[in-house]
């Protein structure tokens, strides 16, 4: 029904009833009685309406949908509509609060920084990542000009020039940041910051790796090309020299081959397309192979022994063989003839451990943290002399990462080293 009719029909009916009652009193007890009844009924009506008004006013002081008073007559409709409005309002407010909480949480977790500024760069709000990146504290810096908070000349120039379509790379507080300002609404701007320190470091590592690898390949190639030139310009070279040149060229060829094999192994170990396929590994057999290889490399010049007591593990037998063999070959290569190398596989309370102990040249403490970097060598010429590629420990590190194992190195210059591979407890 039309809401107006809904209001007026019962009100008129009530008035008619009131007039009927007054008329009845008039006809039964005379005009004074009729008028008195009419006045009393009217007074009662007015008091009733006033009491509803009072209840409505109380409710408006503390509006809560659950406490809305019940009404009578037209008030029923007014109260029920108010109740519906209030309930809808409460629902949308709850939704809004939930959205706001979700938005706040998302902004909190965002690794990128977001700061909202007005048109004259006064800070209105920022998330924790922006606080970290730019060194801000929202509670302290809110309402301050961002150019007074981030006092980097490149940042000031960026704002002065206003070329916001391009991001700015900023070195700030030992981090590399990519910063961009995005104007939004009419009078606001968002400042977005992205921490690119890690990707810059990876990019630098990639550049270093290419430079190092090219350098490592160029050296043997130069030797080979040199001898080839001698061979072509001196056709009547004596047989002994020719033999010596061929021997050196073959050695350099092998060196390039080892280098390329190690680079391929490393790139395979790092590749996501080459996940570890775990299988039970008979560690005893693996270490026996490694022992045999180490003895062949030593050519009987070292005392090499092995004690194998630990359990079998789950992983890749080939990868573990290559990691253990790298450690054993290093021990042989960096230990003078007459020294000793011991391989050991044992079960410890923290998990099984493979260790290689030698009585070799040892390593100064300052090099130890960097040994697993690609091409890092304590002594470049010694590594080359012993046919090292500089990639052995980097390969070991990657194999261990894939097996959730870790490497610890203890060494004393002049006394020897122990490289220990620690597997997690099963």
Rule CB under 6 A: which residues touch ligand ADP?
326, 330-331, 334, 358, 360-361, 363, 371, 376-379, 383, 388-394, 417
CB of 334 to ligand ADP, least distance (A): 3
Q: Which residue has the tokens 């450690």?
A: 327
| DSSP helix/strand/coil, 305 | strand
DSSP letters, 44-67, are HHHHHHHHHHHHHHHHHHT--GGG
Residues 396 and 372: beta-carbon distance below 8 Å:
yes
CB of 364 to ligand ADP, least distance (A): 10
Q: Cα(first)–Cα(last) distance of the chain, in Å?
A: 76
CB of 390 to ligand ADP, least distance (A): 4
Q: Which is nearer to ligand ADP, 320 or 363 (CB)?
A: 363
CB of 207 to ligand ADP, least distance (A): 20
Q: Which is nearer to ligand ADP, 377 or 403 (CB)?
A: 377
Residues 409 and 418: beta-carbon distance below 8 Å:
yes
DSSP 425: P
Residues 402 and 319: beta-carbon distance below 8 Å:
yes
Strands 416-422 and 406-412: antiparallel
Q: Which is nearer to ligand ADP, 147 or 342 (CB)?
A: 342
DSSP letters, 165-181, are TS-EEEEETTEEEEEEE
CB of 224 to ligand ADP, least distance (A): 20
Q: Which is nearer to ligand ADP, 224 or 393 (CB)?
A: 393
CB of 260 to ligand ADP, least distance (A): 14
CB of 410 to ligand ADP, least distance (A): 11
Q: Which is nearer to ligand ADP, 245 or 398 (CB)?
A: 398
Nearest to 294 by CA among 320, 317, 324: 324
CB of 395 to ligand ADP, least distance (A): 8
Give the Å distances, CA to CA, from 169 to 10, 85, 126, 192, 248.
74, 52, 20, 12, 49
Number of other residues whose CB lies within 10 A of the CB of residue 223: 17
DSSP 70: P
Task: Collect all residues with Cβ–Cβ distance below 8 Å to 367 and sequence separation of at least 6.
Answer: 376, 378
Residues in the chain, total: 426
Q: Which is nearer to ligand ADP, 110 or 260 (CB)?
A: 260
DSSP 259: H
Give the Cα separation of 127 and 107 in Å (integer).
6
Number of helices (H), then strands (E), in the chain: 14, 12
Q: Which is nearer to ligand ADP, 284 or 410 (CB)?
A: 410
Give 323: exposed, middle or buried? Use CB within 10 Å, 0-12, 13-18, 19+.
buried
Q: Which is nearer to ligand ADP, 157 or 208 (CB)?
A: 208
Q: Which is nearer to ligand ADP, 52 or 334 (CB)?
A: 334
CB of 177 to ligand ADP, least distance (A): 34
């Amino acid at each position: 029904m039309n809401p107006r009719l809904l209001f007026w029909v019962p009100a008129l009916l009530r008035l008619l009833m009131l007039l009927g009652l007054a008329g009845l009193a008039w006809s039964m007890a005379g005009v004074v009685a009729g008028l008195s009844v009419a006045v009393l009924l009217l007074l009662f009506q007015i008091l009733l309406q006033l009491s509803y008004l009072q209840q409505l006013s109380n409710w408006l002081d503390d509006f809560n949908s659950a406490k809305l008073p019940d009404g009578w007559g037209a008030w029923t409709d007014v109260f029920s509509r108010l109740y519906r409005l209030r309930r809808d309002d409460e629902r949308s407010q709850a939704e809004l609060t939930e959205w706001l909480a979700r938005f706040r949480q998302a902004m909190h977790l965002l690794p990128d920084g977001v700061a909202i500024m007005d048109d004259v760069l006064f800070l209105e709000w920022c998330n924790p990542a922006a606080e970290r990146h730019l060194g801000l504290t929202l509670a302290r810096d809110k309402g301050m000009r961002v150019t007074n908070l981030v006092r980097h000349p490149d940042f000031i120039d960026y704002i002065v020039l206003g070329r916001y379509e391009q991001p700015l790379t900023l070195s700030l507080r030992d981090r590399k940041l990519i910063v961009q300002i995005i104007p939004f609404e009419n009078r606001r701007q968002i400042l977005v910051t992205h921490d690119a320190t890690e990707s810059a470091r990876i990019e630098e590592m990639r550049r270093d790796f290419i430079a190092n690898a090219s350098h490592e390949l160029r050296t043997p190639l130069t030797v080979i090309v040199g001898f080839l030139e001698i061979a072509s310009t001196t056709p009547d070279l004596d047989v002994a020299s020719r033999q010596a040149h061929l021997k050196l060229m073959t050695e350099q060829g092998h060196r390039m081959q080892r280098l390329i094999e190690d680079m391929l192994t490393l790139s395979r170990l790092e590749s996501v397309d080459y996940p570890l396929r775990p299988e039970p590994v008979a560690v005893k057999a693996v270490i026996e192979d490694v022992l045999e290889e180490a003895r062949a490399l030593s050519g009987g010049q070292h005392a090499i022994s092995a004690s194998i007591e630990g359990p079998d593990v789950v992983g890749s037998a080939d990868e573990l063989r290559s990691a253990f063999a790298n450690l054993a070959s290093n021990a042989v290569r960096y230990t003078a003839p007459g020294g000793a190398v011991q391989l050991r596989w044992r079960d410890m309370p923290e998990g099984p451990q493979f260790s290689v102990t030698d009585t070799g040249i040892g390593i100064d403490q300052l090099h130890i943290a960097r040994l697993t970097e690609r091409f890092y060598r304590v002594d470049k010429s010694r590594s080359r002399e012993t046919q090292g590629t500089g990639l052995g420990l980097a390969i070991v590190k990657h194999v261990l990462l894939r097996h959730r194992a870790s490497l610890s190195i203890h060494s004393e210059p002049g006394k020897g080293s122990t490289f220990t591979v620690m597997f997690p407890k099963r």
